[in-house]
Structure 1
Amino acid sequence: MSSIVFIIGFNYDSNCYLINDNILVDTGAGQNKDYLFSKLRENGVEPEDIELVVNTHCHFDHIGGNQFFPNAKIAVHRMDAISMKNKDTLGTSLSAFDNDGNSRVDIELEDGDKIGDFEVIHTPGHTSGGICLWDGENLISGDTIFAGGGVGRMDIGGDYNDMKNSVEKLMELDVKNIYPGHGPIVENNGKNHIKLSYSLL
């Protein structure tokens, strides 16, 4: 199974996840560089070791730290790449573009793409290009699913029907652990949390 290191969000930062020692999923809001770097180093990884940054979606609290990794390729779903490339402050929910590094996209992801041991699952609803990463046991869920039956808000570039369809799609997976964009992780009974999320929509 995949190696996943949980870096809990600090202040406005999203949670970040280090996978395979050289891939970082989300980078936070970009306001706590020292904190993020210290967490990487605690796990034996220097910032320059990161070869790929995967953004689960385009909101500022997930992409604002992209600028800290100028040597890494930046990957995001093609639908959310539009907001980032256009420096769309509405689509990203707040400006993250004081630094041009946050508008760079090198890889436009599609549903079914592979990232290490993970498959990209397109899960629109919170944004039009939201994704989850799935390895057959672990779901890195961005702001699609949270612990305790929560889902991401749908009033900033989102859509209720898309969210309902996305959560329904995730219910088909035998999810053990959930690694969400905010809040605590879910261990061992992730599928129940997805079912609860769907029942509350």
Structure 2
Amino acid sequence: MPQVIVLAEGFSHTIEGGNTEANCSCVLIKGRDNIIVDTMTAWDKDIIIEGLANHGVSPNDIAFVVCTHSHADHIGNNNLFLRADHIVGTCVHNRTVFTNEFRDAHYQLCPGVKLLRTPGHTHDDVSVIVESTVDGEKVTIAIVGDLFEMEDDLAKPEIWQAVGVKELRKTQAENRFLVVTLADYIIPGHGKMFKVTDEVRRLLKSQIPVD
């Protein structure tokens, strides 16, 4: 069963001048096929290489690079992984060859790992759904990019609404609810992993706009 390891925890906060300081969560899925999800900014090469090495993995051991969307803080070190297939949003490619493999709502990447189309933050977001374990218990972990900014945006939807595509707010609310119906834990784009409870599911269902 794949092991989910957070190499770097995402963050986001406002700094002097009203600017934002942020970086994404970077996650290693270690298993038969090693996968890295979201490769941070272009200045984070050493963080990623050291984090992988701590778990006995080198960039050449990565089979798949998955970027939940194409913003700069999620794709900055893709070129470390030149033996891997790359999936950026729903775009699947290796070198200069682009395939049409991700045509449906979901895409089975390898045993225990699938990708879901979950637009909202952008038009081309994907989430990674992993069958794994936490404390010896079988669980489903969703690595969602900026579909969820952080746990705080459960009760404060204005957090994710402020940075997403305005015309996709209902779609994002629907996909947020979809993901929590599937997952026991969420790894958000800019915060700590958190547990999904029935209360969380009820809350997110109530946040879907009614036409």
Q: Deviations over 1:146-173 (max 9, x none)?
A: 3231564465656212212212322432
Paired with 2:42 and 2:99, the residues of 1 have a C-alpha distance of 21
- The more displaced of 64-73 and 45-54 is 64-73
Instruction: Pick from 141, 144, 156 the counterpart of residue 144 of structure 2.
Output: 141
Q: Deviations over 1:43-95 (max 9, x none)?
A: 110111112101111111111111222222111333xx49xx9xxxxxxxxxx
* CA positional deviation for 1:192: 4.0
| Cα pair 2:118 2:126 within 8 Å, conserved | yes
| Cα pair 1:147 1:193 within 8 Å, conserved | no
- The more displaced of 140-149 and 49-58 is 140-149
After superposition, residues 183-198 of structure 1 pair within 5 angstroms as 183-187=191-195, 189=196, 192-198=199-205
TM-score for the superposition, normalised by structure 1: 0.74
Instruction: Pick from 169, 178, 186 the counterpart of residue 160 of structure 1.
Output: 169
Alignment partner of 1:47 is 2:59: yes
| Cα pair 1:12 1:28 within 8 Å, conserved | no
Paired with 2:145 and 2:203, the residues of 1 have a C-alpha distance of 17
Q: Classify 1:171/1:48 alpha carbon distance in 2 versus 1 (closer, same or farther; 3 Å).
A: closer
Paired with 2:115 and 2:198, the residues of 1 have a C-alpha distance of 18
Paired with 2:97 and 2:165, the residues of 1 have a C-alpha distance of 19
Aligned counterpart, 1:96 = none
Aligned counterpart, 2:77 = 65
Q: Classify 1:106/1:23 alpha carbon distance in 2 versus 1 (closer, same or farther; 3 Å).
A: farther
| Cα pair 1:74 1:106 within 8 Å, conserved | no
Letter in 1 for 2:151: A
Which runs of no fewer than 5 residues in structure 2 stay unpaired?
11-20, 132-139
Paired with 1:132 and 1:8, the residues of 2 have a C-alpha distance of 18
Identical positions, percent: 26
Aligned counterpart, 1:91 = none
TM-score for the superposition, normalised by structure 2: 0.71
Paired with 1:156 and 1:167, the residues of 2 have a C-alpha distance of 13
Q: Larger radius of gyration, structure 1 or 2? A: 2
Aligned counterpart, 1:88 = none
Paired with 2:127 and 2:145, the residues of 1 have a C-alpha distance of 6
Q: Classify 1:125/1:172 alpha carbon distance in 2 versus 1 (closer, same or farther; 3 Å).
A: same
* CA positional deviation for 1:186: 0.9
Instruction: Pick from 50, 54, 62 the counterpart of residue 38 of structure 1.
Output: 50
Paired with 1:107 and 1:179, the residues of 2 have a C-alpha distance of 28
Across the aligned residues of Structure 1 and Structure 2, the Cα RMSD in angstroms comes to 3.1
Q: Deviations over 1:6-51 (max 9, x none)?
A: 1224774311111125211111112111111100000110111112
Q: Classify 1:195/1:68 alpha carbon distance in 2 versus 1 (closer, same or farther; 3 Å).
A: farther
- The more displaced of 60-69 and 159-168 is 159-168
| Cα pair 1:144 1:163 within 8 Å, conserved | yes
- The more displaced of 32-41 and 134-143 is 134-143
Letter in 2 for 1:15: S
* CA positional deviation for 1:119: 2.2
| Structure with higher strand content | 2
